[in-house]
Amino acid sequence: MPIPVTMPALSPTMTEGRLATWRKREGDAVKAGEVIAEIETDKATMELEAVDDGTLGRIVVPAGAAGVKVNSVIAMLLEEGEDKSALDRAPKAAAPVAVAKPAASVAPAPAPAPPAAPKPNGSARVLASPLARKLAKEQSIDLASLKGSGPGGRVVQRDLASASSAPVAARPPVLPTEAGTLIPHNNIRRITAERLTEAWRTIPHIYLNVDCTVDRLMEARAELNARAGLLPKAGSSPDGTKLSVNDFVIRAVAFALRKVPEMNSQWTSAGTLRLASIDVAIAVALPNGLITPIIRRADTKGLAEISSEMRSLAEKARAGKLMPEEYQGGGFAISNLGMYGIKDFGAIVNPPQAGILAVGVAEKRPIVKNGALAIGSVMSCTLSCDHRVVDGAIGAQFLTAVKGFLEEPMTMLL
């Protein structure tokens, strides 16, 4: 009996996906462990592996199809000894069977593109590797103009080299001239928009703001970085990268969550869930959207470990290689726009988290010190809270704790 291949749930919140490409064609032999397709989720493109041997008898969902529901049949796999006539005898609505599994993520999810112009062989879709598609998009190279040297005529990275000196303009869908150019939504931006819209509509936000004088933090950071060779555990990260202000912010937030555990909570229909682990999510900007990788058990990690792990997660995020467990969950979030010179801003809570800390730039400002006017490094922090979980008093206690750790960094280095 033919075995249905279904759209897998690649994350707990995934309800539908986009079938980016088929790696196999109808009639191709398939072995367990072979990649048969690429599925685009809200965060990345995941490879789909077969877990049974057989022959790809029928492709039900074509490449490029979006909005494919989880557990819906996307293909039929013929068992050994079966031919295509068995497909006609198969039930029309077979029960979903888990015959495929996701492998490691590969490339950043490409934005849905308009139909490609037919190639000389008459195929309407340009066969290309995810990396080739990403590079072609960045370099404005028309994939349809290239001759692929990969398997089955697939366009690969080396094929772009010959076209890089004379790139062909990309062909996004165009609205009437007076309106401008339409840039299709990729899954990351679409899902982010849906989640933030839902959060803004359903979560009663409350905002608390505080200014932190961070002269001592800046001095401690400079001293630790200067002594990185002597104090590798307290100074730079193991591979020699210097500590950033954001590393101190992550540690301060983790310590504050430990001090005010009421902040490390989530709203549920049954009650308020007090989280056992302090997992801090950090917003990372991508060319095609936003993602929040997570530092797990952040309160148990030193500055060097936080710095190294955060940089590794950010690199994986930009390469589209984060696994779901590296960006899903988290009890609290940080969004830092200080590197862009932003003084202060308010962020939207990302459910089911109950709070997010928006961090601005540390800049020189007039302050009153010992009753006299002075100049100090001041950093504004704005806490956004889910008022169903966190009231003003709890939020104030948490923000006061964050301020205390940032202004007296030695208290979080012990």
Q: Which residue has the tokens 């308020």?
A: 272
d(CA 192, CA 197): 8
Q: Could you tell me the sign of the dihedral formed by the alpha carbons of 133, 139, 143, 146, in that order?
A: negative
Is residue 406 within 8 Å of residue 217, measured between CB atoms?
Answer: yes
Written out in words, the top-level CATH class of the domain with range 189-412 is alpha beta
- Which pLDDT score is estimated for 164? 45
What ranges make up the beta strands (E) of 194-247?
Answer: 205-213
Q: Does domain 3-105 have CATH number 2.40.50.100?
A: yes
Among 300, 304, 299, 301, residue whose Cα is nearest residue 228: 304
Among 337, 313, 347, residue whose Cα is nearest residue 327: 313
143: exposed, middle or buried (Cβ count in 10 Å: 0-12, 13-18, 19+): buried
342 residue type, one letter: I
Fold equal for 3-105 and 189-412? no
Question: For residue 266, how many other CB atoms are within 10 A of its CB?
Answer: 18
The catalytic position among 216, 311, 387, 388 is: 387
- Which pLDDT score is estimated for 125? 62
110-139: burial string, b at 16+ Cβ within 10 Å, e else: bbbbeebeebeeeeebbbbbbbbbbbbbee
Q: Could you tell me the sign of the dihedral formed by the alpha carbons of 261, 262, 263, 264, in that order?
A: positive
d(CA 65, CA 19): 5
- Which pLDDT score is estimated for 89? 66
387 is catalytic: yes
* Tokens matching residue 262: 């009421």
d(CA 225, CA 242): 6
List the end-to-end C-alpha distance of the chain, in Å, as a whole number: 64
- Which pLDDT score is estimated for 394? 96
d(CA 402, CA 359): 11
Packing angle, helices 303-318 and 245-259, rounded to 10: 110
Distance of CA 273 to the CA centre of its chain: 25
User: Helix, strand, coil shares of the chain as percentages rounded to 5?
Assistant: 30, 25, 45
What does pLDDT average to over the chain?
A: 80
- Which pLDDT score is estimated for 262? 95
Is residue 31 within 8 Å of residue 3, measured between CB atoms?
Answer: no
- pLDDT by residue for the chain (414 residues), tens only, comes to 778 888 887 766 678 888 888 999 888 888 887 889 988 876 667 788 886 788 888 899 998 888 888 888 898 888 877 877 777 766 554 333 334 445 444 444 444 443 333 444 434 467 777 667 767 776 667 777 777 766 567 777 667 655 543 333 334 444 555 667 887 777 778 888 888 899 999 999 999 999 999 999 999 999 988 876 544 444 444 555 689 999 999 999 999 999 999 999 999 989 999 999 999 999 998 877 888 999 999 999 999 999 999 999 999 888 878 888 898 889 999 999 999 999 999 999 998 899 999 999 999 999 998 899 999 999 999 999 999 999 999 999 999 999 999 999 999 887
- Which pLDDT score is estimated for 229? 52
Among 254, 255, 251, 248, residue whose Cα is nearest residue 219: 248
Domain boundaries, the chain: 3-105, 130-184, 189-412
